């Protein structure tokens, strides 16, 4: 097991250079599947994370009940409104449309605010079967996986799970305190058993590869990130970075966690940790990437 962490210099080396002759098709097609009637902001934060992290095209797939709310707040991404059920969640009728879009995308992120109903559960199962497709399972997508986690062992997609300790508790049937007291052992054991990449959120976020041979400890970030919506932004950042790494979710997660934490660190110089919002962190991403590109030099 190789254990490591990033600093500004190594993050600068890891960040892939942009092709000066590239066009929007060169920098990847990202599909985000997010939202429900009572979960609108997660769509916005995930979209900003992906757009600010280099993706050439970002498509947001969401229940059509959110159409007016989202189209009035977002301008740079494409929209894929989907049939909603009576409660404002993705309906079963939306699943085939999402799978068709996923097959044409370079990376899929699914889960922020989608609930755990019939439509969401079916979608998660079908995404597991996409051959070699990079798929990031976050939030409710992880909660859906908890019901049939053994299917992860037969997943054909290239999966990254991004649980917080509560979601990790449901995945492993361990208490949150057990997980927090043995974070490294927990994540390595899970990756070894299920052969998936995993990012365990929290103070000193951990990222382990699917072979359970590499573990990264993220050292950026502060308590300003401890607000609802922060994880949605992180998942969007990782999705936006994945095409730059040719689909390598592990590298995208390592750098994504570093960038996400650093967005709060640069804001700490200006704002109190009490007052930092996920939307503030989204707005800080251009400065973060600029610092990384310069290797931390002013």
Q: Is residue 72 classed exposed, middle or buried when 0-12, 13-18 and 19+ CB atoms within 10 A define those classes?
A: exposed
What domains can be seen in the chain, in order of their start residue? 2-6+27-293 (3.40.1190.20)
Asked if residue 148 has pLDDT above 90, the reply is no
CA-closest candidate to residue 206, choices 145, 165, 173: 165
CA count, 13 A, side-chain hemisphere, 247: 12
Model confidence pLDDT, tens digit, residues 13-40? 999 999 999 999 999 999 999 999 999 9
User: What pLDDT score does 147 carry?
Assistant: 85
Identify the three-state secondary structure at position 62.
strand
Q: Measured in whole angstroms, how far is the alpha carbon of residue 11 from the centre of its chain?
A: 18
Q: Which residues of 204-233 are buried (b: 16+ CB within 10 A; e: fewer)?
A: ebbbbbbebebbbebbbbeebbeeebbbbb
Give the residue-averaged pLDDT of 68-84: 97
Strand partners, 207: 199, 216
Give the residue-averaged pLDDT of 59-82: 97
What average pLDDT does the chain have? 97
**Cα gap 276→256, rounded to integer Å:** 19
Asked if residue 161 has pLDDT above 90, the reply is yes
Supply the angle between the helices 230-241 and 249-268 in degrees, to the nearest 10: 130
Query: Which ranges of the chain does DSSP label H, i.e. alpha helix?
Result: 8-14, 41-51, 67-71, 95-103, 118-128, 140-145, 165-172, 176-181, 183-194, 230-241, 249-268, 278-293
Are 53 and 256 in contact by the 8 Å Cβ rule? The answer is yes
Poorest-confidence range of 39-48, 205-214, 229-238, 289-298? 289-298
**Cα gap 38→46, rounded to integer Å:** 16
């Amino acid at each position: 097991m190789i254990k490591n962490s990033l600093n500004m210099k190594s993050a600068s080396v890891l960040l892939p250079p942009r092709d000066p002759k590239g066009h929007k098709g060169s920098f990847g097609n990202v599909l985000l599947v997010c939202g429900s009637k009572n979960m609108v902001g997660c769509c916005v934060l995930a979209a900003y994370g992906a757009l600010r992290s280099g993706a050439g095209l970002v498509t947001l797939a969401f229940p059509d009940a959110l159409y007016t709310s989202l189209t009035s707040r977002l301008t740079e991404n494409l929209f894929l409104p989907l049939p909603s059920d009576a409660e404002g969640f993705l309906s079963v009728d939306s699943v085939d449309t999402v799978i068709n879009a996923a097959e044409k995308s370079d990376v899929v992120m699914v889960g922020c605010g989608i609930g755990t109903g019939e439509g969401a559960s079916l979608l998660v199962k079908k995404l597991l079967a996409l051959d070699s497709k990079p798929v990031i399972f976050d939030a409710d997508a992880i909660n859906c996986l908890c019901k049939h986690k053994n299917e992860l062992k037969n997943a054909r997609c290239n999966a990254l799970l991004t649980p917080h300790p509560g979601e990790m508790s449901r995945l492993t049937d361990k208490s949150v305190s057990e997980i927090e007291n043995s974070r490294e052992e927990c994540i390595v054991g899970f990756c070894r058993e299920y052969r998936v990449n995993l990012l365990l959120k929290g103070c000193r976020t951990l990222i382990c590869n699917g072979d359970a041979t590499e573990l990264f400890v993220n050292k950026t970030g502060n308590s300003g990130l401890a607000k609802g919506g922060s994880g949605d932004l992180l998942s969007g950042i990782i999705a936006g970075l994945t095409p730059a790494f040719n689909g390598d979710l592990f590298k995208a997660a390592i750098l994504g966690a570093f960038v996400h934490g650093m967005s709060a660190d640069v804001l700490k110089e200006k704002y109190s940790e009490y007052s930092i919002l996920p939307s503030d962190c989204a707005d800080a991403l251009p400065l973060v990437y600029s610092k990384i590109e310069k290797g931390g030099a002013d």
